[in-house]
Structure 1
C-alpha cells in the first residue's frame, strides 16, 4: 500500500487565532487518496488539541489561541512595530512526529494565506531533511495565487495551481465531477475534534473587486441539499461534533432553493448542533422567513458582510449590498429572536480607495443600528481588480507576498494613513454597543 503524508504548516504572522481554522482542502485530499488505496498520515501544526501540553483553552464554540513563539521579522517587515510570531506546535514536536512516521511515497503540504508561506517553506525544509527522496507536492491558495513565486522559491518538487481534485492526473487519480462527488473530509485523522467545517457550495456569483473567490473557484456550484444534511448528520451523530462551520462564500444565494431547504431538513431530522458562518452572510437575503428558520435550526453566530456604508464604494466594488439591506436584515433577525448586540457586522478597512473617515463613518452606522463591528483588515489579493490598481500605482511590490499581510494594512501603510486610530475606535464603538449607546447621537466625530 502506498503512503502519503499530508501537512498543514505553521502560521508566521503578527497575529493569529483559531477562528474555526481547518485545512479543508487537505482533508478532502486525504479522503481522495484513501479512495485510491493510500495509507494517509496527517501532521497538522495548527491542531491545538495535539500532543503538546498544556492544551490552549477553547471558548464554547471551539475557538481559541494558538501556541506561539516570537521569531525574527523578515527584512521587508522590519519597520512594523509588532512582534512577529510562529503560531502552532513547536519545531521540536514537529520533528519528533516526523521521526516516528514511516517512509512515505509522497508528501502534500498546503498553505492558505499568501503571506503565510514562511511556514510552508519551513515545513518543506524539515520534511526534505527527514525524507530526502520523497517528492513534495504543495498546493492551496498561496500556490494558486502566487504560483510563480512558489515554483521559484519553495523547493517543492511539484506546485499545484487550482483545485487538487482537478490537478492530480499525474498520480492516476480520477477527476471529480463536482463537489458532491467528493468523499467527506477526513476528520477522523484528528484525535479530538471540537468543530467540523463544511462546504455546501463552492464559489460566488459576485465579482467584488477585492475578492479572489471567482479566481479560485470560477462560478458558483451548490451541492445537493440531502447530501449536505447527510454530511452534517454524520458529523453530529458519528463524530460527536456540536459545532458546524460553513465555509461557503455565498451560503445564502437563492435561499429558497438551498439554505432554507438545508435548515428545514436539519430541523426535521432533529439535529441539535450549532451553526456558524465566519465568512460573512449577505444581508440582502435576510427576509423574515430565513431569519426565523436560522434561529429555529440553532444558527448560533451571525456575521454579516457590509464592508462599507459608503454607497459610492459599495457600487464601485461590486454592488452586492446596500445600507438598507443591513437595516432590513437586522430588523428581521431581531424579530426572529436574535439580539442586535450578538450580531457582528464586518467592516472592511484599508482598501486603496478608502479614507479613514469612510471607515469611521461605517463603524458609526453599524453602531447606530445596535450591532457590533468586526474590523476586516484588507489584504491585497493577486489577480483581483483592486490588485491591478494597487500594483499599477506602485503601492505594493507585487513580487513579495509578505507585503500582502492584512495585519499591517499594506495599502494604507504605503499611503501613510493611520490604521491604529481605526482599531482604537472600533473598541469604543463595540463598548458603546454593549450598553446600547449610539455614538452618532453624541456627535463623537
Structure 2
C-alpha cells in the first residue's frame, strides 16, 4: 500500500479558498491502491508547519505538489525546499499547469525530482508504485518527465483518459468541506465543481490547449446529478461555480447536463464560448433559463477578426456582439474577457478594443468586461501537436531584444514574470500605454461596478458610477485622480484579480 502526501500551495486568501479539485481527483485515484492525504495551503495558512507535522507523523512514499504559474510558484518552492532539507530521500513530484508548460524549468530545480505533464490520475499512481521498486521502471509511464543523471527524459504524452464515472471525491480529507462554501453573488453557499475537462479548441495562447491538446470530455448526466446532489443536499450548497475549461460544447451533448441543472435549479457560473451559446436552440435556452445560469465567462479576446484567426480562437467579432444581445434576452450576464496590447500593432489594437467594449456596453449595459494584457505562451510550451503551427512573431521587448523566458522556478517568482503569467504586464509595453490601459479600466469599472462585488455598499457603487459618467461619456480616461482616490476608500472588487 503506497502512501502519498498531496499539497496545494497557497494562492488565494482563506475567504477565497475553493475546493482543490485537482488534488481531490488525484487523491481518489491514488486511494484505489493506497492512501493519500491532502494539505490545502489556502486553508492551512502556515503551509510549512502543516507539511512538517504531516510528514513527521508517518512515512510517505512521495509528495505531490500542484503548481500553477504566477503567485503559487513561490510557496511551492518554499515547501519543496523544506521537504528536501528535512526529508531528503522523499521524492518530490510537481504537477499541474506550470510543470506541464515549463517542464525543463521545473526540473532544473534540485528540489523537484519528477514532473507530471497533463493529467495525473493515471501517471501519478503509476509513478508512486514504481518508486517503491528497487529499480524503478520509469520509461513506460506516459506524461512523465524525469532526471536521468545530468539529462532530462520526457516520456511520450499520455492519451487523454476518460473520467471514471464511479469516482467519488474524498471531500472528508479537507476537514469540514463546508468551510469551502463561499458567499458570492450567486448565493450564500457557493460550491466549486468541475464537470467537463479539456477543450476541443486550440487557442495558441491558452494553457488548457497546451495541456489537453484540443480534447475534451463531458461527464455522464448521472454522475453530474450525483455530484451536485451531494453538494446541495449533504453540504448545503445553494449555487455552483463550474471550473470546467469550457462548459458548453455540442448541443446534443449538453442537453442531458442542462436537464440535470434545470432539475436542481441552483444558480451557476461557467466558462462558455460565443459560438456555442449562439448555436443553442430555443428549447435548450429554455433549459438554461430554468437551470438559473446567472453568468457565463466568454473569451471574446479581440475585436480584430485577423487576430482571432491568428490565435486560432475560432470565433468572430460579430459573434461577440450577438452573444451579448442573446444573453441580455435570456437573463444571463456575459462576462467578456479581452486581451489588449498584443506584440504587433500594440497601441492600435488596444484603442480598437476600447471602442469595441463601448459598443458591447451599448448593446448590453449589464455585460461585465475583463481586460487582460496579451501574454502568449512560448512556442516550447504549446502542446506537441501544435508546435510549429501558426507560429507568432518573435517576441521582443522595448529595446528590440528577444524576450527570454525564465529558466528556473525562482526566476518565475520575479515580479515581471508573475505579472506576465497573470496577464497583467508584458515586456513590450511602454509606460504610457501601461498607464493608458490602467486608466481606461479604472473609468470602466467605476462607471459599471461589477455585480460580483458583495462587499462595497450600494451607495458607494452608485456614487462612483456617477463620478465616472462624464469621463466615460467623453472618453476622458487619462489621470482619473478622483476615481483613484475614491477607490482607496471603497476598494471596488476586480474580478480579473480576485475571481468570483
TM-score class, shorter-chain normalisation, is: 0.7 to 0.9
Q: How many Å separate the matches in 2 of 1:344 and 1:17? A: 25
Matched residue, 2:104: 148
In the TM superposition, what whole-angstrom CA distance separates every residue of 1:45-71 from its partner, at most 9, and x where no partner exists?
112xx4xxxxxxxxxxxxxxxxxxxxx
Matched residue, 2:79: 123
Change (3 A) 1:33 1:99: closer
In the TM superposition, what whole-angstrom CA distance separates every residue of 1:195-250 from its partner, at most 9, and x where no partner exists?
54333322222222211323201222223232222222222223333332222222
| RMSD (Å) for aligned C-alpha atoms | 3.3
Change (3 A) 1:246 1:438: farther
TM-score with structure 1 setting the length: 0.76
Q: How many Å separate the matches in 1 of 2:48 and 2:164? A: 39
Q: How many Å separate the matches in 2 of 1:443 and 1:179? A: 50
Consecutive unaligned residues of structure 2, counting only runs of 5 or more, are 131-140, 142-157, 182-189, 383-388, 450-464, 478-500
Shift of 1:319: 4.3
In the TM superposition, what whole-angstrom CA distance separates every residue of 1:391-443 from its partner, at most 9, and x where no partner exists?
57854212344524335412444x55622321221232233346697988646
Shift of 1:444: 5.3
Matched residue, 2:25: 28
Matched residue, 1:273: 266
Q: 1:426 aligns with which of 416, 419, 441?
A: 441
Cα contact 2:38–2:173 (8 A) shared by 1: yes
Shift of 1:20: 6.6
Matched residue, 1:229: 225
Q: How many Å separate the matches in 2 of 1:229 and 1:360? A: 41
Change (3 A) 1:412 1:373: farther
Change (3 A) 1:291 1:200: same
Matched residue, 2:135: none
Show the 5 A alignment for 1:385-424. Answer: 389-391=393-395, 394-400=401-407, 401-402=412-413, 403=417, 404-406=420-422, 408-413=424-429, 418-424=433-439
Q: How many Å separate the matches in 2 of 1:275 and 1:316? A: 32
Show the 5 A alignment for 1:3-402. Answer: 3-11=3-11, 21-38=18-35, 40-47=36-43, 50=44, 89-90=45-46, 93-94=49-50, 97-98=53-54, 101-113=57-69, 116-168=72-124, 169-172=126-129, 177-181=161-165, 183-190=167-174, 191=176, 192-194=179-181, 195-218=190-213, 219-258=215-254, 260-268=255-263, 271-277=264-270, 280-287=271-278, 288-338=282-332, 342-353=333-344, 354-355=346-347, 356-369=350-363, 370=365, 371-382=367-378, 383-384=381-382, 389-391=393-395, 394-400=401-407, 401-402=412-413
Change (3 A) 1:8 1:182: farther
Q: How many Å separate the matches in 1 of 2:116 and 2:304? A: 39
Cα contact 2:19–2:180 (8 A) shared by 1: no
SS in structure 2 of the partner of residue 253 of structure 1: coil
Change (3 A) 1:140 1:378: same
Cα contact 2:17–2:180 (8 A) shared by 1: no
Task: Pick which of 307-316 and 118-127 moved more.
Answer: 307-316
Consecutive unaligned residues of structure 1, counting only runs of 5 or more, are 51-88
Q: How many Å separate the matches in 2 of 1:365 and 1:19? A: 33
Cα contact 2:39–2:51 (8 A) shared by 1: no
CA radius of gyration, larger in: 2
